[in-house]
Amino acid sequence: MPGKSDIIVIGSSNTDMVIKAAKFPIPGETILGGEFFMFPGGKGANQAVAAARLGGKVALVAKIGNDIFGQQALQQFKNEGIEVKHVITDVDHRSGVALITVDAKGENTIVVAQGSNGALMPEDLTQATPDIENAKIILIQLEIPIPTVVEATALAKRFGKKAILNPAPAAFLPSEIFDGLYLITPNESEAEAIAGIRVTNLNEAKQAAEKIREKGVKNVIITLGSAGAYIQNEDGGKHVGTPKVKAIDSTAAGDIFNGALAVALSEGKTLEYAVTFANAAAALSVTRMGAQASAPFRNELTHML
């Protein structure tokens, strides 16, 4: 029923195939890795699961293939308590997959085959419009076609909803995406792609965030990995630190951050508290393998907060 979900996630669903290795291969090199893992992933699905595990009322708008990966993903969403009535089975494309290598430091490289994610078109949002109108937060990423992202932000603006754009993976963004956007959450490299300013320290983060705000975004949060996050809005700038942990796999840290951020904001928390909450969730996630598998539950964050 419309209004059931406070958070509408519009995005991708993938299956992640992960190999751990001592180092990344250079071009033309074959190396022997360690264990192989297969996890449910995709930025949209990751963020939806993260939000649901942290207590959010979540609906997902996505496309999956008519294959075993799609069937497994759909069941996983149901198991996590996510509303799936807007998850469309695409008979023309296979489900998306991601090939991931994780090195000994917990860093990763990822190659994604979009599959059905690339077929999530603007018109596919029509059936979700009543739920978008009754939600609080609209959470979007860039593993779906840009015209669909434009439509999603336009719908959020039309209904006065808080649209959060996680601009990952980095891509060219037309100006209309920024118009009325409540919040954007790039990492350092994504912020550089948008602002044209390299981000290697807090001063540069401030400069990049101010440049991004000039495009029409009300709030900018630049995520800084183990250094936390930097917030910039009309009240000024603020750095928010993150708990120190031993990273094992950083694959979905940004997705966990965004899902947690959406939950805190949907509960009416301040932006600074929401970032503190999201930092804690992301920090806990990097101590575990996998994407959705690494997403923490609400009670696990108590001691970190």
Q: What is the pLDDT of residues 111-145, one digit of tens each?
A: 889 999 999 999 999 999 999 999 999 999 999 99
Name the pTM for this structure.
0.91
Q: What is the CATH number of domain 7-26+34-294?
A: 3.40.1190.20
The pLDDT, as a whole number, for residue 162 is: 97
6 is catalytic: no
The tokens for 172 are 């060219």
The pLDDT, as a whole number, for residue 252 is: 87
The pLDDT, as a whole number, for residue 1 is: 36
Calpha distance 271→286 (Å, rounded): 23
Instruction: Give CA separation, 2 vs 5, 61, 123, 127, 240, in Å.
Output: 8, 14, 18, 11, 35
Query: What DSSP element (H or E) covers 96?
Result: strand 96-102
Low-confidence ranges of the chain (pLDDT < 50): 1-3
Q: Any idea where the domains of the chain sit in the sequence?
A: 7-26+34-294
The pLDDT, as a whole number, for residue 116 is: 98
The pLDDT, as a whole number, for residue 2 is: 39
